[in-house]
Structure 1
Amino acid sequence: MRTLARWMLAGGMVFAGLSHLFWARKEFQAQVPDLITEVLPIDKDGVVVASGAVEMMLGAALVVLPKERRRVGLILAGFFLAIFPGNIAQAMDKRPAFGLDNDTARWARLAFQPLLVAWALWSTRD
């Protein structure tokens, strides 16, 4: 069961990473907090591309590095925590993206981030 969950998470991560690079770049830019581009020398598109590359690498690592799955799971959980402020910024700034065009939808989405963290940790346990 954990193997199936891990492989599903891996596929989802690779798919999400590809979407960052190709068909959903504008939507993902809505999730980048303004503070990031004010503090770091990178624009929102650069953040989206970089996070997409990281998502693809983590997704692939879940499959191709079975001996490191626990470590990869911890890194992935940390990644999900690191991007959470972007989801909060999208909700607070009322930025529509991915069909999240009202406050209820944007705030409800935040409830799923802890589930992703739990999924990453559970599916990579020994």
Structure 2
Amino acid sequence: MPRSERSPLLLAGLLAAAGVTHFAAPRPYDTTIPRALPGPPRAWTYASGAAELALAAGVALPRTRKVAALATAAFFVGVFPANVKMALDWRDRPTPLKAAAFGRLPLQVPLVLWARSVAHSTEGRSGQS
């Protein structure tokens, strides 16, 4: 399978794995939910996990891939404030944890670009199975 054909499946796998962890181990995600959001953090953790699972399914299916990949790019932008909050909250943690939290921030850019490239590589191929 050529690399360009694997890319959507790898993105779907990343989204699915992240989505599952929101349900399997929600506590770390709860702490990243900005306080300005209404309702309990756990509801947002579960909602974002469900969104990642739905996006994973959409990206995996050729028929919905383009729209789902564009939605994934928007999702990656939308969760950026939670990543910033985590980095700020972790600034007093041990260096490896602090480095991981701050290191995640610039990773959002390639994730957004990856999702957009999956959407654009699907141009003209929607509806294929």
Q: Same fold (TM over 0.5)?
A: yes
Instruction: Specify the alignment match of 1:33 in structure 2.
Output: 34
Question: Within 5 Å, which residues of 2 pair with 1:1-126?
Answer: 1-22=3-24, 24-36=25-37, 40=38, 42-64=39-61, 66-94=62-90, 101-102=97-98, 104-125=99-120, 126=123
Higher relative contact order structure (alpha carbons within 8 Å, sequence separation ≥ 6): 1
| Distance in 1 of aligned mates of 2:19 and 2:92 | 20
Q: Which has the larger radius of gyration?
A: 2
Change (3 A) 1:26 1:70: same
Change (3 A) 1:100 1:31: farther
Deviations 1:3-59, CA, capped at 9 Å, x for gaps:
20110110111111111011x2111112111111xxx2x211111001000100000
The number of aligned residues is 118
The CA deviation at 1:107 is: 1.6
The CA deviation at 1:71 is: 1.5
Gaps of 5+ in 2: 124-129
TM (normalized to structure 2)? 0.82
The CA deviation at 1:70 is: 1.7
The percentage of counterpart residues that share the same residue type is 30
> What is the root-mean-square deviation of aligned Cα atoms in Å?
2.1
The letter for the 2-side match of 1:17 is G
